[in-house]
């Protein structure tokens, strides 16, 4: 085992920062570090906090740190999709957790959006694991749930809190479209503003609809006629909770809901199924990103030639696609002979 990993496992903050930098910069051997970290992961609670810009995610995370901190070390991964710069830097006042920067048992890491497909969720998963190996019993992932890349990040978390605010009718449309499926707990923050109860009712109505659709699709309902004695499907009822993060109100209920969701995951067949689905999603998405990258780099010259040919009407996209796929296949076949 690498000395850096030994120090990391002993709880060294310096070692954690160095491992994260090595992973970020893809330094030689970074994957070996991650391989050695992996066996020491899998028991921390990884919690996603997603929602529209300015909904109060960072303020909520700050309050949750206060509470989780009483149980041990806490890791935070703050993802800023608007920053094109590389990760690691503290992203200024967008992050409202400065109170915790002096705390040796709270590690806050910022990640910026990567260009590469799936790069952000991979970085988030790797960072969460390093934080767990460092000793964090809880890792909080803050993301703005706007793009596909950010929604993918929510698949890294075992439990997801979706944060919204009163009076955002359009917001609810966006939630319907994208993040309804991944919400385990809804929070209506800024409940000091008008319309919080209306938003709670809207969300509950939407969830009631969504839930029956999900049940049908998963085959839980309707029950087969002969299985009348089958146990109730182990459904998780998504709670909708009101908070005023700036006044630290409503946060205990959020904590309770997260604890309940965690034990639901650990004790039900549906929880086990979700864990397996997360592992599979990570493996398949990283594998496909890698395979596509390899294939496209191998074919890059042929692709450029085809683009020219299509432009000059010597070829068409359909024919070119078949030819490129065939060329890739042919290269694979001659590879073992040592090109």
Ligand X SMILES: Nc1nc2c(ncn2[C@@H]2O[C@H](COP(=O)(O)OP(=O)(O)OP(=O)(O)O)[C@@H](O)[C@H]2O)c(=O)[nH]1
CB of 150 to ligand X, least distance (A): 11
Residue 324 binding target from Mg ion, ligand X, none, CB below 5 to 8 Å by type: none
CB of 189 to ligand X, least distance (A): 5
Closest residue to bound Mg ion by CB: 58
- Closer Cβ to ligand X, 121 or 165, answer by number: 165
- Closer Cβ to Mg ion, 5 or 138, answer by number: 138
Residue 281 binding target from ligand X, Mg ion, none, CB below 5 to 8 Å by type: none
CA distances from 64 to 69, 71, 255, 263 (A): 8, 11, 7, 18
CA nearest neighbour of 265 among 146, 129, 160, 173: 160
CB of 74 to Mg ion, least distance (A): 16
Residue 54 binding target from Mg ion, ligand X, none, CB below 5 to 8 Å by type: ligand X
Residues 38-77 that bind Mg ion (CB under 5 A): 57-58
CA nearest neighbour of 133 among 44, 252, 31, 235: 44
CB of 239 to ligand X, least distance (A): 18
- Closer Cβ to Mg ion, 82 or 300, answer by number: 82
- Closer Cβ to ligand X, 190 or 262, answer by number: 190
- Closer Cβ to Mg ion, 94 or 220, answer by number: 94
CB of 244 to ligand X, least distance (A): 4
- Closer Cβ to Mg ion, 59 or 306, answer by number: 59
The 10 Å Cβ neighbour count of residue 135 is 21
CB of 237 to ligand X, least distance (A): 24
Residue 204 binding target from Mg ion, ligand X, none, CB below 5 to 8 Å by type: none
Query: Where does this chain bind ligand X (CB under 6 A)?
Result: 51, 53-59, 94, 96, 144, 189-190, 192, 244-246
Residue 74 binding target from ligand X, Mg ion, none, CB below 5 to 8 Å by type: none
CB of 188 to ligand X, least distance (A): 10
- Closer Cβ to ligand X, 150 or 152, answer by number: 150
Long-range contacts of 87-93 (CB under 8 A, 24+ apart): 87/24, 87/111, 87/112, 87/123, 88/20, 88/21, 88/24
Alpha-carbon span 339 to 332, nearest angstrom: 10
Helix axes 119-134, 30-37, angle to 10 degrees: 50
Residue 246 binding target from ligand X, Mg ion, none, CB below 5 to 8 Å by type: ligand X
CB of 71 to ligand X, least distance (A): 23
- Closer Cβ to Mg ion, 58 or 121, answer by number: 58
Residue 168 binding target from Mg ion, ligand X, none, CB below 5 to 8 Å by type: none
Site residues (vs Mg ion, CB under 5 A): 57-58
């Amino acid at each position: 085992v690498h000395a850096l990993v030994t120090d990391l496992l002993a709880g060294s903050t310096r070692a954690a920062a160095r491992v994260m930098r090595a992973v970020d910069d893809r330094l030689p051997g970074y994957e070996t570090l991650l391989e050695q970290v992996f066996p020491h992961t899998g028991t921390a609670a990884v919690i996603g906090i997603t929602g529209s810009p300015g909904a109060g995610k960072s303020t909520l995370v700050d309050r949750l740190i206060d509470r989780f901190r009483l149980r041990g070390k806490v890791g935070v991964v703050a993802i800023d999709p608007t920053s094109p710069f590389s990760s690691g830097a503290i992203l200024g006042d967008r992050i409202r957790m400065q109170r915790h920067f002096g705390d040796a048992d709270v590690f806050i890491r910022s990640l910026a959006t990567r260009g590469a497909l799936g790069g952000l969720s991979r970085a988030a998963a790797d960072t969460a694991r390093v934080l767990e190996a460092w000793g964090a019993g809880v890792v909080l992932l803050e993301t703005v749930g706007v793009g596909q890349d950010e929604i993918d990040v929510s698949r890294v978390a075992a439990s997801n809190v979706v944060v919204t605010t009163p009076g955002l009718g359009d917001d609810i449309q966006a939630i319907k479209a994208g993040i309804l499926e991944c919400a385990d707990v809804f929070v209506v923050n800024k409940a000091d503003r008008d319309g919080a109860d209306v938003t709670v009712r809207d969300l509950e109505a939407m969830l009631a609809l969504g839930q029956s659709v999900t049940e049908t699709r998963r085959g839980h309902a309707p029950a087969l006629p002969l299985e009348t004695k089958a146990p109730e499907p182990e459904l998780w009822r998504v709670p909708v909770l009101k908070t005023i993060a700036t006044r630290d109100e409503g946060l205990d209920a959020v904590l309770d809901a997260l604890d309940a969701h965690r034990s639901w995951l650990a004790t039900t067949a549906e929880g086990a199924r979700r864990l397996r689905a997360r592992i599979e999603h990570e493996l398949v998405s990283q594998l496909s990103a890698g395979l596509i990258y390899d294939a496209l780099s191998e074919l890059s010259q042929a692709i450029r030639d085809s683009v020219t040919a299509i432009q000059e009407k010597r070829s068409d996209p359909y024919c070119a696609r078949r030819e490129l796929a065939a060329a890739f296949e042919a290269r694979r076949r001659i590879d073992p002979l040592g090109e």
